Amino acid sequence: MNNQELFERAKRRIPGGVNSPVRSFQAVGGTPYFVDRAQGAYVWDVEGTRYIDYVQSYGASILGHAHPKVVSDLKQVVGLGTTFGAPTLREVLLAEEVCGRVEGCDWLRLVSSGTEAAMSAIRLARGATGRARVVKFDGCYHGHADFLLAGAGSAVASLGIATSAGVTPGAVRDTLVVPFNEVPDLDESVACVIVEPIGANYSLRVPRAGFLEGLRAECDRVGAVLIFDEVITGFRFRNGSCSPLVGGVIADLYLFGKIIGGGLAMGAFGGRGDLMDYLAPLGDVYQAGTLSGNPLATQAGLSVLGELSEAVYEEISKKARDLATGLREILGEKAVVNFGTLVGFELANYPEFFHEMLAGGVAFAPGPYEVAFPSLAHSDDDLDATLNVLGAQ
Ligand SMILES: Cc1ncc(COP(=O)(O)O)c(C=O)c1O
């Protein structure tokens, strides 16, 4: 079955043929490729076409696909049972790993997605402060909980959805959307401020000097909880929070996902002990999950974190820098943004760029606001091949 046939078949049972809207190609036009398998920097579609893959599951696969160590570790544990509904050693190990690498994150609760992490952390902030209001920033994406679907980035932005249908005015009544990189004046109705410390869902946005420090000071002034959503940025630029790279502000709560699940369903939120104490069973903020801390996901996360070192980040940063430099030479200085290991785009005609690359065997995300994720597996030859599609010499 080819991509087109499979897409037609998918559309008969799955709304829009996809299980997450950005995959539909609606923002760029055309038919999505259906992935058959992946290895390292590459994915192969069901027609046998190979793509150099910069999607990397939107950042979940920092080592590249099917990394041998992750695969062999997973093979060892899969036969031991895949979910128990009782605590396991690997949940403890993963919590220790994450907390040990993130300053200000002393306790951690594992969940199954970034959406769940954001939703739960905000419930916790509201429960702890007894306040309702949530301040978020335009273009930041924190998953698809109702009250966070206002002014969101990622696919919400590329599909032109300001606030999703089905989200009641009541659900977003307490959500205040303010411009990124501007410190808002808060008052004592604010439970929390949630921000991607480096914005990675509306192209790539580096905080201006003083922005995160200003948020910290405003939160402290009014007693609001500062939440860093590091679902993309956590363990992406360095071995822990990205905060030390952009001023070193310590948040009250952190959200993680993607990398810490090693490509399996995983999210986490954590932070200050006195806040996390409000969570059930210690406190009265309820939060739960059948698959939370899943044995396979925790193993995959541990296997990936075990491979990450300063040298790995240096290597991926160099690849991202080389990719950005090469792309800039062709597309123009302002069309490409690079910070550390990530590359973003500010192109007038992203769909044209996207399809030219795809036709040349290179997969970037099918949405103009998504960033590119070079992985450890991308070789210099892959980077050259990527640039050659655009006619680089
Ligand atoms: C910063 C950020 N927060 C939260 C989420 C939601 O995570 P998930 O898709 O796992 O629910 C995402 C997803 O891309 C994200 O980029």
Cβ of residue 137 lying under 6 Å from some atom of ligand 1: no
- Phi and psi at 285, nearest 5°, equal -95, 115
As a whole number of angstroms, the distance between CA 205 and CA 190 comes to 25
Q: What percent of the chain has pLDDT over 70?
A: 99
Say yes or no: CB of residue 201 within 6 Å of ligand 1. yes
CA of 284 to the centre of ligand 1 (A): 26
Nearest CA to ligand 1 atom 13: 143
pLDDT digit string (tens) for 346-360?
999 999 999 999 999
Between the CA of 351 and the centroid of ligand 1 the distance, in Å, is 23
Distance, CA of 288 to CA of 279 (rounded, Å): 10
- At a CB cut-off of 8 Å and minimum separation 6, what does 88 contact? 293, 295, 298
Q: Is the pLDDT of residue 24 over 80?
A: yes
- DSSP β-ladder status, 42-45 and 50-53: antiparallel
| Predicted structure pTM score | 0.97
Q: Is 203 in the pocket of ligand 1 (CB under 6 A)?
A: no
Q: How far is the CA of 390 from the centre of ligand 1 (A)?
A: 31
Query: Residue 201 C-alpha to ligand 1 middle, in angstroms?
Result: 9
Q: Please report the atom of ligand 1 found closest to the CA of residue 116.
A: 11
Beta bridge partners of residue 193, listed in sequence order = 135, 226
Residues 203-247: tens digit of each pLDDT: 999 999 999 999 999 999 999 999 999 999 999 999 999 999 999
* pLDDT of 330 above 70: yes
114 lines ligand 1 (CB under 6 A): yes
The answer to whether the CB of 232 is under 6 A from ligand 1 is yes
Residue whose CA is closest, atom 7 of ligand 1?
114
Q: Is the pLDDT of residue 33 over 80?
A: yes
- The residues annotated with a catalytic role in the active site are 141, 229, 258
What's the rounded Cα separation, in Å, for the pair 42 and 38?
Answer: 6
Task: List the structure tokens of 242.
Answer: 């990205």
Q: What percent of the chain has pLDDT over 90?
A: 93
What pLDDT, on a 0 to 100 scale, did the predictor assign at position 392?
59
Question: What is the distance in A from the centroid of ligand 1 to the CA of 32?
Answer: 21
Ligand 1 close to Cβ of residue 257 (< 6 A): yes
Q: What is the mean pLDDT of residues 300-315?
A: 98
What is the radius of gyration, based on Cα positions, of the chain?
Answer: 20
Q: Residue 393 pLDDT > 60, yes or no?
A: no
Q: How far is the CA of 389 from the centre of ligand 1 (A)?
A: 30
124 exposure class (CB count in 10 Å sphere: 0-12, 13-18, 19+): buried
Residue located nearest, by CA, to atom 3 of ligand 1 = 142
Mean pLDDT calculated for residue range 5-11? 98
| CB-based contacts of 173, cutoff 8 Å, min separation 6 | none
pLDDT at 283 > cutoff 90: yes
What spacing in Å lies between the alpha carbon of 274 and ligand 1's midpoint?
Answer: 26
> Quick one: pLDDT at residue 291?
98
State pLDDT tens for residues 70-114.
999 999 999 999 999 999 999 999 999 999 999 999 999 999 999
Cβ of residue 231 lying under 6 Å from some atom of ligand 1 = yes
Segment 280-308 shows an average pLDDT of: 98
Question: What's the rounded Cα separation, in Å, for the pair 115 and 119?
Answer: 6
CA–CA separation, 293 and 90 (whole Å): 8
In single-letter form, the type of residue at position 100 comes to G
CA–CA distance, 46 with 51 (Å, rounded to integer): 12
Check pLDDT > 80 for residue 157. no
Tokens of 175: 């959500």
Question: Best mutation site among 115, 291, 292 for ligand 1, i.e. most ligand atoms within 8 A of its Cβ?
Answer: 115
In this model, does residue 18 exceed pLDDT 90?
yes
Domains of the chain: 3-62+309-389 (3.90.1150.10), 69-307 (3.40.640.10)
State residue 181's pLDDT score.
98
Task: Tell me: pLDDT of 162 over 80.
Answer: no
Is residue 347 within 8 A of residue 331, CB to CB? The reply is: yes
> Which ligand 1 atom is the nearest neighbour of the CA of 115?
11
φ, ψ for residue 86, nearest 5 deg: -145, 155
What pLDDT, in 10s, does the model give residues 124-154?
A: 999 999 999 999 999 999 999 999 987 777 7
Structure tokens that stand for 106 in this block: 């002393």
d(CA 287, CA 305): 26
- For ligand 1, is residue 386 a contact (CB within 6 Å)? no
